[in-house]
Amino acid sequence: MEKMPFQPDVDVEPIVSTVPIVEGRPAIAAWRYGLPELAGSKVTLRELRRSDAPALFAALTSQEVSRFISPPPTTVDGFERFIAWARQQRDAGQYVCFAVVPKNGDHAIGLFQIRALDPDFGVGEWGFAIASEFWGTGAFVDGAKLALDFAFTAIGLHRLEARSATVNGRGNGALRKIGATRECLLRRSFLRNGEYFDQVLWTMLAEDWLGAKAIWGSPIIH
């Protein structure tokens, strides 16, 4: 997602969910107590750790990576605050953020994040960022499969949205590659460095994922 919900200047304190509680909702989902580890053929998705901050700072603050996303934290301490915020938001049931780790590695090279767009987390928005040296290696597609399966299976989404600047050819190509549908154009909807950009709204429905999953197969969850 290009408009990242994290606000780096806001103190990280225990929070109360801003998503209203709906009567009759099922018991709190297990992922709210801690994210599972999702293993693909090239990458693993796992819970963020405070120790990921230096690696994420190195991976996500380059001009290539940060050009079409909301400005990432500018310091390692800023990433530590983001990680603490992400875990609090997960506890509240509003947001999940996975670290992307290369197969047989330990250092985070990127993120997949999903946030609620409605009270039941039936509609969500997702986004991703991966270190430029891993572009074209299959890391994105492998991680996207894991993130999508988690979104539609564990969270129970029926619709997942993504926004990408029209001039972000790599981002739009990645979303097209994993089977997202280009739904509409959002004119001048993204502000970056004082300039407004048009965005494409990409969507995927639960039934779209079920069809893709039948071809790709299921991920491994630890």
The rounded distance, in Å, linking the Cα atoms of 102 and 73 is 22
- Domain regions of the chain by residue span: 34-131+138-215
pTM for this model (two decimals): 0.85
- CATH code, 34-131+138-215: 3.40.630.30
> What is the model's pLDDT at position 14?
35
Question: For 6-20, what is each residue's pLDDT tens digit?
Answer: 556 544 443 333 333
Q: Give me the percent of the chain exceeding a pLDDT of 90.
A: 69
Measured distance CA(151)–CA(38) in Å, rounded: 12
Q: What mean pLDDT comes out for the span 86-106?
A: 95
- Average pLDDT of span 190-218: 87
pLDDT top residue among 68 and 201: 201
User: How far apart are the C-alpha atoms of 171 and 64, rounded to whole Å?
Assistant: 12
